[in-house]
């Protein structure tokens, strides 16, 4: 939803706009009989069969359920960040990095995701500046070694991004040192916020097993801990987080759900 042009989804050699890709997927699903409800699920009850999904007061029931609520990127919470989303501010280096070839870029964060993004962008950009609020990284030792060894990557420690600067697109960031209070401006063409993702699992955490960060634990590819409930996409994937990998896991979950329903029917 936040990506203008998607260039890493198979079948689109010239890329495709994110909203257009979504509209095409929806139309294809509707053409084969899928019914789409444009409302948010507000509650679920997976404790008994059939499963219940509520949209406010309306109740839907199902013999099988696929959880595909995704994960939301964590943001800095700046007004200027919202202003430039899709115009120089991104949460996905792999998705949007190719738009910034040869430019100076900023990565915000200090974990493995931030280092992966910085290393990826270093292959594309003229230089990458990592801004981290602490005086040392939280990333694994191997990721730190790789990042420190890359000559294109620089580090700004003990600092936060106070504001993203620009007119119609990102032109720089205003950075504040948390120890000295010094405020400086840094020119850049893009800002990648790499402070992690939050899986959208609040609705059903009490019914299926999740890990310590809230991602659904999948067994045998798509099976949750509750029989008949399957998972697809970023709600269970904290490694790849790409549209194409999510689509592939959606196919797996659908096939597994169909097999589960057929087995139920055979035993009735």
The pLDDT score that the predictor gives to residue 241 is 85
Is 96 labeled as catalytic in the residue annotation? yes
Mean per-residue pLDDT for 30-50? 96
Query: For residue 227, is pLDDT > 90?
Result: yes
Contact status, residue 42 vs residue 55, Cβ threshold 8 Å: yes
Mind listing the pLDDT tens digit for each residue in 85-102? Answer: 989 999 989 889 999 999
Mean per-residue pLDDT for 229-243? 93
Report the distance separating Cα 268 and Cα 257, nearest Å. 17
Domain definitions of the chain by residue range: 37-72+200-266, 75-195
- Residue 260 burial by Cβ neighbours in a 10 Å radius (0-12, 13-18, 19+): middle
Mean per-residue pLDDT for 181-197? 96
Catalytic residue, chosen from 14, 20, 45, 96, is: 96
What's the token pair of residue 234?
A: 């970023």
Report the distance separating Cα 261 and Cα 265, nearest Å. 6
Report the distance separating Cα 20 and Cα 36, nearest Å. 17
Is 188 labeled as catalytic in the residue annotation? no
Mean per-residue pLDDT for 4-29? 90
**Residue for token digits 């007119």?**
167
- Confidence tier at 2 by pLDDT (50, 70, 90): low
**What's the CATH number for 75-195?**
3.50.50.60
Cβ count within 10 A of residue 148: 12
Topology alike, domains 37-72+200-266 and 75-195: yes
Contact status, residue 97 vs residue 189, Cβ threshold 8 Å: no
The one-character DSSP state at 263 is H
Cβ count within 10 A of residue 65: 25
Query: Phi and psi of 141, rounded to 5°?
Result: -60, -40
Mean per-residue pLDDT for 138-164? 97
Q: Looking at domain 37-72+200-266, which CATH architecture does it have?
A: 3-Layer(bba) Sandwich (3.50)
Catalytic residue, chosen from 95, 117, 234, 237, is: 95
């Amino acid at each position: 939803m936040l990506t203008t042009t998607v260039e890493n989804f198979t079948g689109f050699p010239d890329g495709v706009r994110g909203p257009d890709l979504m509209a095409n997927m929806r139309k294809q699903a509707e053409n084969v009989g899928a019914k789409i409800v444009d409302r948010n699920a507000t509650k679920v009850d997976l404790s008994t069969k059939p499963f219940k999904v509520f949209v406010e007061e309306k109740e839907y029931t199902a013999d099988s359920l696929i959880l595909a609520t995704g994960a939301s990127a964590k943001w800095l919470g700046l007004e200027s960040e919202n202003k430039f989303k899709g115009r120089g501010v991104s949460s996905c280096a792999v998705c949007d990095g190719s738009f910034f070839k040869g430019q100076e870029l900023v990565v915000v964060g200090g974990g493995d995701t931030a280092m992966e993004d910085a290393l990826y962008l270093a292959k594309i950009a003229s230089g990458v500046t990592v801004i981290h609020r602490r005086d040392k990284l939280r990333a694994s030792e191997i990721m730190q070694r790789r990042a420190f060894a890359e000559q294109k990557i620089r580090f700004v420690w003990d600092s936060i991004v106070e504001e993203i600067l620009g007119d119609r697109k990102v032109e720089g960031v205003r950075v504040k040192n948390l120890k000295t209070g010094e405020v400086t401006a840094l020119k850049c063409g893009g800002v990648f916020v790499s402070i992690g993702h939050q899986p959208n699992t609040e609705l059903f955490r009490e019914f299926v097993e999740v890990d310590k960060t809230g991602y659904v634990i999948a067994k045998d590819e798509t099976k949750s801990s509750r029989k008949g409930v399957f998972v697809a996409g970023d709600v269970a994937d904290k490694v790849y987080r790409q549209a194409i990998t999510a689509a592939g896991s959606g196919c797996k979950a659908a096939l597994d759900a169909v097999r589960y329903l057929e087995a139920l029917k055979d035993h009735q």
